[in-house]
Amino acid sequence: MRTLYPAAAALILLLAGCSGTATPSTTAPSPSSASASPTTTPSSPATSDPGPTTPGNGSGQGAGAPDDSGRFTYVCSNLNEAVPEVTYSSLAEVWASTEYVRLATCAASYEGPLPFEPTEDEARIISIAEPGITPSAGLDAYLTALALCTRVSDDAASDLFGRSSRQMLLAASELCPRAPQGRIIGLWAAGERAGDGESAVASGGLVAGKFHLRKTPPEGCAWSVSAADGSKKASGGATEGQSGIILEEKDVLTSDKCGIWEKME
C-alpha cells in the first residue's frame, strides 16, 4: 500500500495542474482599421480632434483648426492619372496625405443634414466670401473656400487663385490659416501676388508697389503695364520681370507665360 502513495500524489498534482490552466480571454483583439483613408492623421495640435461640435457654436475652423466637423468630404484627384480619386473626411486628412504634393484637384462636398444651416464659424466665412448673402444660401461659397484650402501651393494652383475674387481669397485665408499654404493664400488675398492674365491695381485687386517674378519663367514670357487710359507704360520679358516693375494706382498688368508675380516692397 505504501507504494501507491507516490502514484496517488502524482495524480493529485496532475489534476491540480490541469485545473489551474489559464482560461483564454473572451475579449478578441481589436481588428486593424479598414478605413478607406490613405493616411492616418498625425497627432499634433494642428490636427488633433477637439471633440464633437455643437451646431450653432462653430466648428473651430475660423480659429484656424482643420475641418473637424464631419460635415464635409473631399474628393481629390492625382497628378498621376493612373492613381484613382481618393475621398478624405477632413482638411487635416488632406494635408496629412502622403499624396498631398501630388494632388491635382480637390472638390469639397457637404455631407450634413439638409437644409444647410451653417454654424457660427461657417456663417462668418460665408459673409466674408459673399458679403450680403444669407448664410443659409451660401453653401456653394463655403465649399469654394474649403476647396481653396486644399491647394498645395500657388505654383500648382495659380490659375485657381488668380481667378478667385479677393473676397473669396480673404474667406479662405480666414478659414485655414494653419494650412500648409495658408500664408500663400493670405498673400493672394492681400493683393500681393498675381498670375498670368490681366490684374488691375484697384480695390479688390493688386496693391500698388514693386513686383517681380518669383521664379525664372519658361521661354516666351511677355508682360506689359498699361495706365488707366490704356496707354502702355512699360513692357518686357523674363529678365525685366525678374528685376522688378513698378505698379501704380489704376495700372493694369498683363502677363503671358510668366508665372507668378510677387510684391517686393
Q: What is the pLDDT of residue 204?
A: 83
Read off the pLDDT of each residue in 14-32 and give the average, rounded to a whole number: 38
pLDDT number for residue 155: 65
103-110 vs 252-256, strand pairing mode: unpaired
Pairing of strands 252-256, 232-236: unpaired
Cell of 171: 474667406
Q: What average pLDDT does the segment 75-91 reach?
A: 94
The 8 Å CB, 24+ separation contacts for 231-237 are none
CB burial of 86-117 (b: ≥16 within 10 Å; e: otherwise) equals bebbbbbbbbbbeebeebeebebeeebeeebe
- Using CA atoms, how far apart are residues 79 and 77, in angstroms rounded to an integer? 7
**pLDDT tens digits along 153-197:** 666 667 788 888 889 999 999 999 888 888 889 999 999 999 899
74: Cα separation from own chain's centroid: 10
* Per-residue pLDDT at 46: 35
Q: What is the pTM of this model?
A: 0.69
Q: What per-residue confidence (pLDDT) applies to 222?
A: 97
Nearest-angstrom CA–CA distance, 245 and 238: 11
Contacts of 75 (CB under 8 A, 6+ apart): 85, 86, 87, 106, 107, 109
Task: Provide the mean pLDDT of the chain.
Answer: 78
